[in-house]
Amino acid sequence: MVLKNLYRIKNLVIAFAVTLFFSCNSNLKEVQKIGVLQNEPIGIAENINLKYTEKLADTGRVIANLISPKMLDYSNRDFAYSEYPDGIHLIVFDDDNNKSVIVSDYAIYYSETNIIDLQGNVVLSTHNKDTLYAEQLYYDQKREWLFTNRPVTLKFGRNRQNGNGFDSDSNFKTFEIMEGSGLVFLDETP
């Protein structure tokens, strides 16, 4: 009798486990679908041309113009961001309406920290004809600060300097090139 009861209990446990397995398998597929959807962007924009304006006494002055073939919006994430997988062309205007241009092969904007991560053939050209070339460059919008710990080349005036890091205000008034490899004078005529 005891053996017969153990046999019944064993069969019940097996039946319960099999039922649980098949019901979990169905739920697992649903959970996997949800996970895939959460990893997808909440929005995709193509051929964007965004103009950022600053309101000044009833007139809007353009302070930046962002052009990109594609933007992926991941604002549905805990740490929201926008990704520009095909690069950006950003034109920034200062208070005197002078234009600086930033180009990169890839960019990602973290909205919570206001930091832009520019990657791949980054070129920043100021209205003064100073040009910074970098593999990667970060821009902190709150502090208006540029920085990287990757190789850079800065052409300013008739000079060029290479280094392994860069730290600067957005106007290049105060900048530092880390591990500089020396200053090269491109034109020696007085």
- Please tell me the distance from the alpha carbon of residue 170 to that of residue 122, in angstroms, as a whole number: 15
Q: Provide the residue type at 34 as one letter.
A: I
- Please tell me the distance from the alpha carbon of residue 127 to that of residue 145, in angstroms, as a whole number: 17
pLDDT in tens, the chain (190 residues): 555 555 566 555 565 555 555 555 555 555 555 555 567 899 999 999 988 887 665 667 888 899 999 999 999 888 999 999 999 999 888 888 889 899 999 999 999 999 999 999 999 998 888 899 999 999 888 888 889 999 999 998 888 889 999 998 877 778 888 887 766 555 544 4
DSSP string across 93-161: E-TT--EEEEEESEEEEETTTTEEEEEEEEEEE-TTS-EEEEEEEEEETTTTEEEESS-EEEEETTEEE
Closest to 68 measured CA to CA, from 39, 37, 109: 109
Rounded to two decimals, the pTM is 0.72
